[in-house]
Chain A
Amino acid sequence: MPSTQTLIQAEHVSRDYRLGETLIRAVNDLSLEISSGEFLALLGSSGSGKSTLLNLMAGLDRPTSGAIHVRGQNLAALDSQGLARYRRETVGMVFQSFNLLPRMTLEENVELPLRLAEVDRAERSRRVAQALERVRLGARRQHRPSELSGGEQQRGALARALVNQPAILFADEPTGNLDSATGEQILLLLREIQDTLGMTIIMVTHERPLAERFANRIAVLSDGRLVDQLAMQTGARA
């Protein structure tokens, strides 16, 4: 069960992009609260601003106006070093296209956030093994991404996102490049991890049925605005 403690609070957040002469408002005066332990799905069509909102909350981008507080800390006020630390210590990320580095083995990919966090080597190998076991890829640790299936790659990316034991997991269309059966497996794994580790998950998707089955809450975006919020029955599984 999600706790009621607010983890993320977005207040009147806007994000503008300039495309030549045109100003595009990807996120428009959006306010949203996310509680600790919640599984929130950001739903919307292409160009609705859901990925932009995710990037802002993940500390990859800065809002043009407004504030995003995470555990009381305003991300917009952090310098680039502070944002990097936030991404390293608080956030885990999973992408639609997996983004495993092709030159590295699965094990090395998963180890990467620990290298950046300067975790010592013995601790690293223990945590990498643990993360790979959690996503059931212990046997594929020496394989390169090109030797893995799409589902395995996404599970590997999930292990990489989890290895730093983040408080929040951001998933940007995690099933977008997978067939529906594999996509479902990934989401089942996400729920399982959430249940075990109690982390907050924020997932961007445009597949409403999946969002309804796995999320606690759905926030619907359109033209950069929050147009609807739906609390889901948490029992809706598998």
Chain B
Amino acid sequence: MEKEGDLMQGTLDMLVLKALARGAKHGYGVAEWIHESSNDVLHVEEGALYPALHRLQLKGLLAAEWGMSENNRRAKYYSLTAAGRKKLAEEAEYWRRMSGAIARVMQTA
């Protein structure tokens, strides 16, 4: 079932938060950012992003606002709330420790 590059649920949330760390983006922008910054390794099924965005918004981690896009279309822009920023910091820290630990385990032997 698991294909290479598939994302676990929690990881997707973290990536979304990270994508918005530098400012508001619409959903398409978030998808593009994940693609580009992962050098196209992570294949996010683009649609899966939206339930995640809405969930995070409902949790109060994201705020949403309708605005005009760079090519003058109505688009929904997401940005981090204070809670979202805090969550991102926690997740990043947790990820750093986990990946470090896993890397160490994989290197031994």
- The finding on whether chains A and B are genuine partners in a shared complex, rather than unrelated, reads no
**Residues in chain A within 8 A of chain B (CB atoms):** none
